Chains A and B, each alone.
Chain A
Amino acid sequence: MNWYGCWAFFKKEIARFYSVSVQTVFAPVVSTLLFLLIFGQVLDTRLDAFSGLSYSQFLIPGLVMMALLQNAFSNSSSSIIQSKMYGNLSFVLVSPISPLELYIAFVGAAIVRGLAVGMGVLLVGWVGFDLQWYSVGWVLLFAVLSAALMGGVGLIAGIVSEKYDHLAAFQNFFIMPLTFLSGVFYSIQSLPPFWQTLSMFNPFFYMVDGFRYGFYAQSDVSVYLSLFITLVFLVSVTVINLILLVKGVKIRH
């Protein structure tokens, strides 16, 4: 393994998003907090998602996870599509970095950005609302695995996209709907049976539900089922990425 090469690429990816951190970290934190401000204030006294919790308390972990998922996806997808557009992807492709090392670096950087944005939202929620911490371990486990999964999904999207338009379509017609319909804003127990069943096919639901369990020890499905589903998707996404990178699909010709 060329671990130093992998580390160098990881650091470069961190430096890339850090150099535009207003756009990549602070703006998503602020826009996510707007959801908390609007939905939390309007619905706090009208909705009761989990027993013994205010709607805002219920909402915060969901919003943290939503921000984390979207930004982990954005980081790897925008990085690789920009590199393809500028042509500078070849700098790393001609170096002795293996497909696995590339994948680790891309996903590692996506995890860092996802966690950075998630932490920003969480800090405000922690200060302003009565968050409970049932298990930091579950919270961290789901945060890291989910960010890795979405970093990997972003990498696939970036690899197969040939222009920004393709990536925007992926984001708007796939990532955004699945995120919004994943139980961020509601418990699926409150949905009619058909929509409850449909939600069970949404992998994002398990990430949000498992993450929320770490705060309140309450969830719509077993936390172990959520962990299992998240791991299955993470492994699948990893395998797909490695196949794409080894074959050089749309990055080597």
Chain B
Amino acid sequence: MNSDPVAVQFESVTKCFSRLQALNNVSFEVKQGSFFGLLGPNGAGKSTLINAMSSLVVPDSGQIHVMGHDVQKNYRQARRALGLVPQELISDPFFSIRDLLIVQSGYFGLRGRAQLAWIDELLVRLALADKADALTAQLSGGMKRRVLIAMALVHKPAVLVLDEPTAGVDVDLRRTLWAFARELHTAGHTIILTTHYLEEAEALCDKVAIMQKGEIKALEKTQDLLARHPYRYLRVTLPETGSFNPQDLSPELAIRLAEREANALLFKIEKSLAMEQVLAWLQQDGLNIQDLTSRDASLEEVFLDLTGAQL
């Protein structure tokens, strides 16, 4: 049993929007210091759950605690412990980046030289220093995203929630944001990340929850989830597959064919099945094999198996 202190605790959280059950009795906890991935297809309830944490959504029932503070009853302490980077690129057209950060600091009762120095540091760290006096309306999407991250960090929250932070950003910025998130995690922040990029979750998160239709479908350490998956993938490279007919495969291989590429076949093989047996089937079918590679399932493949849905 893990006795690490809890950063965020969800207890039987339920929320309906008209007839839509957005959250159905969701209960789990996120340990302090973890890098937690919240995954799920569109409409799974991820954003509703995150917004309930920051009290932008009020649950119909259940409780949420952030660093031990009930987000409804002790909202001031809970909100001081939480920084939210929303999915939407929202901004305030009346203010410059620096002014927005000063205003946001003020909401948390923070002012003075030390706070101004922290704001300057955030501007530098997020590569916004040269745009500090620009109005947010003049910024690109990537810059607006970084402004939102800076705003979520002005009060140095213990828990940082990143709701699809890399959606629609270019590869360079995505890598910069990954590095920054890792750095924040190393500095002691608990990070909760929702993302559509499962390789992102696989690379960053030590634990993931997979949501579907308002419920938690899986909740495990990322490596355990991948290891527990009952399949591995075998990629068989052929000279070309243009004239290849899947019906030429033996039934044992045909039912395990997961994907057909330009010059390769991808088989989804049970881990319980001896590789020797698979190789014998391949040999028996007389395929002109150029190369063979075997790998474990990716988080995306685990996700698809669990939810049957595309991200």
A interface residue numbers (CB < 8 A to B): 2, 4-5, 7-9, 11-12, 15-16, 19-20, 83, 86-88, 90-98, 248, 252-253
Smallest beta-carbon distance A232→chain B, Å: 31
Given the interface pairs A252-B55, A253-B51, the reply to whether A7 lies near B94 with Cβ below 8 Å is no
Given pairs A91-B107, A95-B108, 13 additional interface contacts (CB within 8 A): A4-B106, A5-B108, A12-B95, A12-B103, A12-B106, A88-B92, A91-B90, A91-B100, A92-B107, A95-B104, A96-B75, A252-B56, A253-B57
Q: Are A93 and B56 in contact (CB under 8 A)?
A: yes
Contact with A along B81-97 (1 / 0, CB 8 A): 01010101011111100
B residues 268-294 near A (Cβ < 8 Å) are: none
Does B90 contact A88, Cβ atoms closer than 8 Å?
yes
Pairwise interchain contact A91-B92, C-beta atoms closer than 8 A: yes
How many whole Å from B117's CB to the nearest CB in chain A?
18
**Is the Cβ of A8 less than 8 Å from the Cβ of B17?**
no
B242 contacts the other chain (CB 8 A): no
Q: Is A4 within 8 A of B109, CB to CB?
A: yes
- Interface residue from B17, B57, B77, B105 paired with A252 (Cβ < 8 Å): B57
A91–B151 contact, CB under 8 A? yes
With A93-B56, A253-B51 as contacts: A7 and B79 at CB distance below 8 Å: no
B76 at the interface (CB under 8 A from A): yes
Most chain-B Cβ atoms within 10 A of its Cβ — which of A15, A19, A94, A96?
A94
From A5, A19, A86, A94, give the contact of B91 (CB < 8 A). Answer: A86
Report the separation of the CA atoms of residues A4 and B108 in the bound assembly, to the nearest whole angstrom.
8
A12, B54: Cα distance in complex, Å:
22
Instruction: Give the contacting residue for A87; candidates B51, B57, B90; CB below 8 A.
Output: B90
Q: Which residues of A are found within 8 Å of B77, using beta-carbon distances?
A: 96
Complex contact A9–B107 (CB within 8 A): yes
Look across to chain A and name the residue whose beta carbon is closest to the beta carbon of B109: A4
By a CB distance below 8 angstroms, the chain A residues around B94 are 15-16, 19-20
Is B264 close to A, CB under 8 A?
Answer: no
For A97, the chain B residues whose CB sits under 8 A away are 107
Give the distance in Å from the alpha carbon of A207 to the alpha carbon of B66 in the complex. Answer: 47
* Docked complex Cα distance between A5 and B224 (Å): 44
B55 touches A87 (CB 8 A): no
A88 CA / B151 CA spacing, docked (Å): 11
What CA separation (Å) do A93 and B82 show in the bound complex?
12
B90 engages A252 (CB within 8 Å): no
How far does the alpha carbon of A8 sit from the alpha carbon of B108 in the complex, in Å?
Answer: 9
Residue pair A94, B76 in contact (C-beta under 8 Å)? no
B111 at interface by CB-CB < 8 Å: yes
Q: Return A74 CB to nearest CB of chain B, in Å.
A: 15
Name the distance in Å between A248's Cβ and chain B's nearest Cβ: 6
Q: List 29 A-B contacts (CB under 8 A).
A: A4-B111, A5-B106, A8-B105, A8-B106, A9-B103, A12-B103, A15-B95, A16-B94, A86-B91, A88-B90, A88-B92, A91-B90, A91-B107, A92-B107, A93-B54, A93-B56, A94-B55, A94-B82, A94-B84, A95-B104, A95-B108, A96-B76, A96-B77, A96-B108, A98-B76, A248-B58, A253-B51, A253-B56, A253-B57
9 closest A-B pairs by beta carbon, nearest first, are A8-B106, A95-B107, A87-B90, A96-B76, A4-B109, A88-B92, A94-B54, A12-B103, A96-B79
